[in-house]
Structure 1
Amino acid sequence: MIKRVLITGSNGLLGQKLVALLHQQAEVEIIATSRGSNKLATLFPAVRFVSLDVTDLQQVQQVLQAEQPTHLIHTAAMTNVDECELNQAACWLQNVTAVENLVAGCAQLAVHLLHVSTDFIFSGEQGPLTEDAAPAPVNFYGQSKLAAEQVVRAGSAQWSIVRTVLVYGTAHEYGRSNIVLWVRDSLRAGKQIQVVDDQFRTPTLAEDLAQGCWLVVKHNAPGIFNISSRELLTPFQMAIQVADYFGLDKTLIVRANSSTFTQPARRPARTGFIIDKARDQLGYQPHTFGEGIELLAHQMQEQQGREQQE
């Protein structure tokens, strides 16, 4: 049976990886949606694109009615943690009101909704965590994402929630940096960098997160799934691995703790996920961080080559 999968936030990092992965699946028809114009038009000209602002209920209902998807993967969100702390109304609109709109639309048309959530719904007092760990967010971003999960679970549509951690990757016309790129470029420029060594995460390659979302859709798997890597690492340990891979000067990486940095939003100290459920029920197999660095290095090389040709 053909799955018609509507992706929100298709211009974002995860959205782009999902389009790249799903357009290769014979049994899938994609409807890519995002605010503004389609960044993927040149890369995937055959993929259908519809402009959609998920904070607009009327637009959500119109698009779902017109496109009739069987599944909806909701990746669009306000994810800059400090920005969320400083602009709480905008954060709530994009992370909670938008989800209310989608839940209502999906319930009406019996669409399976997959909602992407985060480790930041947890306090960070203990980790790695299983799917049934008790949430207790320490910042507004985490509060908004927890509220969104509650909206999804209370709705009458069939639902799945994929929680993830510290997603990194590279994408087409994607303005944000990632830890691999930041460390590599800083060290190449001979810059000293301070990197925290008292926060623990299981970093997630964007391709792995896309794969996890696809496996949930493929199996119509209900409930909550942790999708990340298996390795519990600090950003400092990640930075050392990046330096090692590119053969750069590790002495420029200065070990720091969280109190060194003044940020509007508090960060949970120790999260990370236990991914046994996704592995056993979905066959999910993530890359190691080392493999992720290698993949990114090749992608960045290819991207550079394309830019030089243009």
Structure 2
Amino acid sequence: MKILITGTNGFLGHYIIEKLISCNHFVIATSKGANRLTFAHPNFIYEEMDFTNEKMVNTIFTKHQPEYIVHAGAVSKPDDCEKDKPLADKINIDGTAILLNASKKYTAGFLFISTDFVFDGERGMYTETDAVNPVNYYGDTKVKAEELVKQYEHTWSIVRTVLVYGKPFNKRNNILTVIREKLENGETYDVFNDQVRTPTYAEDLANGIAAMVEKNAIGIYNICGEEIYTPYEMAIATAEFLQIDTSLIKKITAKDFAQAAKRPLKTGLTIDKAKNDLGYKPVSFKEGLRRTLE
């Protein structure tokens, strides 16, 4: 199957491409700007594409006529969305609408990558059917994009995930690699201990996405880890793995540190549906940590 992926120069892109190619799909990787991927494979091609540019999107779709779209591109930093709401709207909402419209012409399946930040964080461990109630603008744009996806007339699916980590590609760091850099430089690191998450190993997320594509899954699926951690606990585990003094890790709360975007305190997602429907089985956080840092 010909699968077009957006946002492939981002952190997650490498993992998704690698997994889909291993499943014998032909991947059309797209991103804004030059190719920063290191793939060389007969089932891989890169096309520069700004998915907020309707003309460019239609040109690429006409050229390749994809059968499935994995929409991973987004402004995903909550503070950036809060500081520039028109840009967040343009990329996260309007860009999704442009892609859906182009996909419709080819009756292509459409998979949208969303977030746990669609929830308010009042209780945590949300299911796919729980009511959304974002507390920041990033979550709000994702909710609005989800609504557009749900109106798509062909096969659609939404993946909600949580705090993704893994080996960095294209110098795209994530929470664990940022912590490692700080600690190895002997710097202290302030990290939240009042936020609860179910952190997601990037390879697991890619495996879940591939399973959804293979099974032509429809609807919303939570794809994340199943163990509950605070970012502080993740940082302590990282320091212990690296055998670095844990006293460099400083525990803070949302009250101690001002951020442009409010964060939901308790998210975390239940993955029973993904386990039952897709055979999804994430690695333990300890194993994901090892694979990330070794």
TM-score bracket for the superposition, by shorter chain length: over 0.9
1:291 aligns with 2:287: yes
With normalisation by structure 1, the TM-score equals 0.92
Secondary structure, counterpart of 1:23 in structure 2: helix
From 31, 34, 43, the equivalent of 1:34 is: 31
1:219 aligns with 2:221: no
Amino acid at match of 2:253: N
From 77, 83, 86, the equivalent of 1:86 is: 83
Amino acid at match of 1:17: Y
From 31, 42, 56, the equivalent of 1:59 is: 56
Q: Quick check: 55-64 or 183-192, which moved more?
A: 183-192
Q: Does the Cα contact within 8 Å between 2:168 and 2:177 map onto a contact in 1? A: no
In structure 2, the residue matched to 1:15 is 13
In structure 1, the residue matched to 2:4 is 6
Instruction: List aligned pairs for 1:66-145, cutoff 5 A.
Output: 66-145=63-142
Q: Kindly state the Cα deviation for residue 45 of structure 1 after the two structures are TM-superposed.
A: 4.9
Distance 1:140 1:13 in 2: 22
Distance 2:61 2:106 in 1: 8
Distance 1:266 1:272 in 2: 16
Q: Kindly state the Cα deviation for residue 135 of structure 1 after the two structures are TM-superposed.
A: 0.3
1:198 aligns with 2:194: yes
Q: Kindly state the Cα deviation for residue 188 of structure 1 after the two structures are TM-superposed.
A: 2.4
Q: Quick check: 89-98 or 187-196, which moved more?
A: 187-196
1:161 aligns with 2:158: yes
In structure 2, the residue matched to 1:210 is 206
Distance 2:156 2:142 in 1: 15
Identity %: 39
Distance 2:55 2:251 in 1: 50
Distance 1:62 1:173 in 2: 27
Q: Does the Cα contact within 8 Å between 1:128 and 1:232 map onto a contact in 2? A: no
Amino acid at match of 2:200: T
In structure 2, the residue matched to 1:180 is 176
Q: Does the Cα contact within 8 Å between 2:155 and 2:216 map onto a contact in 1? A: no
Amino acid at match of 1:281: D
Q: Does the Cα contact within 8 Å between 2:103 and 2:110 map onto a contact in 1? A: yes
In structure 2, the residue matched to 1:260 is 256
Distance 1:79 1:159 in 2: 21
Count of residue pairs the alignment pairs up: 293
- Give runs of ≥4 in structure 1 deviating > 3 Å: none
Q: Does the Cα contact within 8 Å between 1:199 and 1:269 map onto a contact in 2? A: yes
Secondary structure, counterpart of 1:228 in structure 2: coil
From 45, 49, 72, the equivalent of 1:48 is: 45
Q: Residues 84 and 136 from structure 1, CA distance in 2 versus in 1: closer, same or farther, beyond 3 angstroms?
A: same
Q: Which runs of 5+ in 2 are unaligned?
A: none
Q: Give deviations 1:64-120, integer Å, cap 9, x for gaps.
A: 122111111000000111010000000000000011011111122100000000001
Secondary structure, counterpart of 1:287 in structure 2: coil
CA-based RMSD of the aligned residues comes to 1.2
From 223, 238, 245, the equivalent of 1:242 is: 238
Q: Does the Cα contact within 8 Å between 1:34 and 1:51 map onto a contact in 2? A: yes
Amino acid at match of 1:72: I
Q: Kindly state the Cα deviation for residue 172 of structure 1 after the two structures are TM-superposed.
A: 2.8
Q: Which runs of 5+ in 1 are unaligned?
A: 299-310
